[in-house]
Amino acid sequence: MVYCWKCGSELREDAAFCSKCGASVRGTMGVQSPTGFELLRDDKNVQNHWARRLVAFIIDAVIVTVVLAIIAIVVSIPFIIGLSFPSTTLGAFPAWWNAWWGLSLGGLIPLVVFLYFFLAEGLYGRTLGKEIMGLQIQRVDGRPMDFRSSLVRNVSKIYWVLLLIDVAVGLGTHGDMSQKWSDRYIGTKVEEKTRMTIIP
């Protein structure tokens, strides 16, 4: 049985278009029988694909966090060397520590993570983490990656619970195993440009 890559409906084997949502399903447009979770359990290639995705995400999260930490330190240099107003009740802690937690608790990190993914994938189809792990975002219809697609597939990164739901719904439904739910909605998928084995 084959399923629509976009809406998950069952298709006739020779179908060119999905009768339910109208998506083109010719050729190699990612139709397959099992759900992503079933493949993740049974298929080494799929396990490897998602392990690469996870490592790429961790690399990107570390890059953003380190850059923000450096900015927090630079911003707090005037406080550290005492050029700014004298120490207050917070003075017991280093200024950079306060600045860092001020930024973190203010929700800046998720926002910057989102902006980083949105801009990098909108412009280049990949982040630094994906580049290192040999991954690339592609539109299912073959058109170049654009900001609208990047916005839709990355907006769930603004809050980790939404990202988990996005991945879980994508893997829990029929279609291309590389697609989060938002990928399926907007018509993007993650391609492997190189061979790389993480899970032996």
Which residue in the set 1, 21, 70, 123 belongs to the binding site for Zn ion (CB under 5 A)?
21
- Residue 146 phi/psi, 5-degree rounding, is -135, 175
**What mask of x and - would describe binding to Zn ion in positions 138 to 157, judged by CB under 5 A?**
--------------------
Q: How many residues bind Zn ion (CB under 5 A)?
A: 8
Tell me the DSSP string of 48-91: HHHHHHHHHHHHHHHHHHHHHHHHHHHHHHHHHTT-SSPP-GGG
Residue 187 Cβ, how far from Zn ion at the closest point, in Å?
11
74 lies in the site for Zn ion, by CB under 5 A: no
Tokens describing residue 148: 């609208």
In the complex, minimum distance from the CB of residue 102 to Zn ion, in angstroms, rounded to a whole number = 46
Q: Classify each residue of 87-98 as buried b or exposed e, where b means 16 or more C-beta atoms within 10 Å of its C-beta.
A: eeeeeeeebbeb
Alpha-carbon gap, residue 27 to 14, rounded angstroms? 10
Interface region with Zn ion, contact rule CB under 5 A, candidates 23-31, 51-59, 126-134, 189-197: 23-31
C-alpha distances in Å from residue 92, one per residue of 1, 89, 118, 180: 65, 7, 38, 46
Interacting span for Zn ion (CB under 5 A) from 9-17, 41-49, 51-59, 174-182: 9-17
- Using the contact rule CB under 5 A, the part of the chain among 12-20, 55-63, 119-127, 166-174 near Zn ion is 12-20
Residue 165 has a CB neighbour count (10 Å cut-off) of 15
Are residues 123 and 144 in contact, defined by beta-carbon separation less than 8 angstroms? no
Which of 3, 18, 60, 175 forms a contact with Zn ion (CB under 5 A)?
A: 18
113 binds Zn ion (CB under 5 A): no
Q: How far is the CB of 16 from Zn ion (least distance, A)?
A: 12
> Which of 7, 51, 61, 152 forms a contact with Zn ion (CB under 5 A)?
7
Residues in the chain: 200
28 or 88: CB nearest Zn ion: 28
Binding of Zn ion by 23 (CB under 5 A): yes
In the complex, the residues that contact Zn ion under the rule CB under 5 A are: 4, 6-7, 9, 18, 20-21, 23
